[in-house]
Amino acid sequence: MLGIENIATYIPKNKKSNYDLKEKFEIDDDFIENKIGVKYHAIKDEGLKSSDMCVRAFENMQKLANINPEEIECCIVVTQNPDFNIPHTAAIVHGKLDLPSSCAAFDISLGCSGYVYGLSNIISFMKNNGMKKGLLFTSDQYSDILDEEDKNTALLFGDASTVTLIGEDPTYVPLDFSFGTNGKEYKELINEDTLYMNGRAVFSFTATTAPKHIKALLEKNGLSDEDIQNYYLHQGSKYIVDTITKRLKVDANKVPFDMAEYGNTVSSSIPIILAKAIHTNPKGKVVLSAFGVGLSWASAIIEKIK
């Protein structure tokens, strides 16, 4: 059975403090710590591209698991900040990691919902093509596209990448996935010259969509809150994580909040949390749920089996 064998992350050490922006944006410590929940943003080194970030995550994976690149049959990169429009970033990563010519490589262009979509994609693709080892990357560098004068986004986003090793000796296996899109609202979170986000629209969408989506997925699988060990939500902001938790009516201790030291890392936010849980948490079912640019959302139930 294919599933998640391991997860590694790359979060740049260079951090930008929101406390230094208090005067500029007329905000206080309470707003930083209890509302957006981001104290520091991780900022990549100047010139570092999406593929470089993937390579950094892979180097960290090599410290956790001895991977022979020759065995990798599939390489997917989830990003909306590709190195170039042409070619796909997965091809560049393929080259930099010296993966074999028989390895399939392609990108998935999704934002916050990208990891859950990516997980379903890579497992289905590998299963249908008889593959045994694959790499799912997430990588976004919003520091390249942010308007530093825009309070809605400048306080929120951080750079990061992750890599998930998919194989036949998994720790987490997927049980079910569910997806959704509201393309009519695509302009509410968009990068034209710089990133624009209608904070109110994105908040309303998330607060109304995510809890219902999670509940429907649990119901479909005959599960209730008692069956779920944790809910790993996309770390949009503390306020949105808290709002979804309240609307779900679940114990807040089941819903980790983890972005304070690095920011909203888009499609990397869920694998960053999973990477911490994979080696420490007991066996059990967890819910993944992510929502954002598109507008797009995706939820999954996965189970830790060892």
Partner 1 sequence: MNISIEEIKNIIEEADTMADMDTLQNDVALTQQEVDSLDMANILLLIEEKYDVKIPDEDMSQLQSVDGIVSYLSNLS
Q: Does 196 engage in binding with partner 1 (CB under 8 A)?
A: no
CB closer to partner 1, 200 vs 283: 200
Nearer to partner 1, 187 or 283 (CB): 187
Do the Cβ atoms of 285 and 228 come closer than 8 Å?
yes
Which member of 204, 224, 279, 284 binds partner 1 (CB under 8 A)? 204
DSSP letters for 75-99:
EEEE-SS-S-SSS-HHHHHHHHTT-
Q: Report in angstroms the alpha-carbon separations of 197 from 42, 192, 292.
A: 20, 11, 10
Backbone angles phi, psi at 115, to 5 degrees: -65, -45
Based on the shown chain and the rule CB under 8 A, indicate whether residue 255 belongs to the binding site for partner 1.
no
Is residue 92 within 8 A of residue 71, CB to CB? The reply is no
Q: Output the smallest distance, CB 28 to partner 1, in A.
A: 9
118 and 57 Cβ atoms separated by less than 8 Å: no
Q: Is 173 in the site for partner 1 (CB under 8 A)?
A: no
- Letters for 266-295 (x = contact with partner 1 by CB under 8 A, - = none) are ------------------------------
Please name every residue paired with 10 in a beta bridge, in sequence order, or none if there are none: 161
Task: Encode 206-217: b = buried (16+ Cβ within 10 Å), e = exposed.
Answer: bbebbbebbbeb
Rounded to the nearest 10 degrees, what angle do helices 199-220 and 238-248 cross at?
40
Position 201 contacts partner 1 (CB under 8 A): yes
Q: If binding is defined by CB under 8 A, does position 35 make contact with partner 1? A: yes
Total residues interacting with partner 1, rule: CB under 8 A: 15
Nearer to partner 1, 129 or 208 (CB): 208
Residue of 207, 223, 255, 260 interacting with partner 1 (CB under 8 A)? 207
36 lines the binding site for partner 1 (CB under 8 A): yes
Which residues in this chain contact partner 1 in the complex, by CB under 8 A?
30-31, 35-36, 198-201, 203-204, 207-208, 237, 239, 243
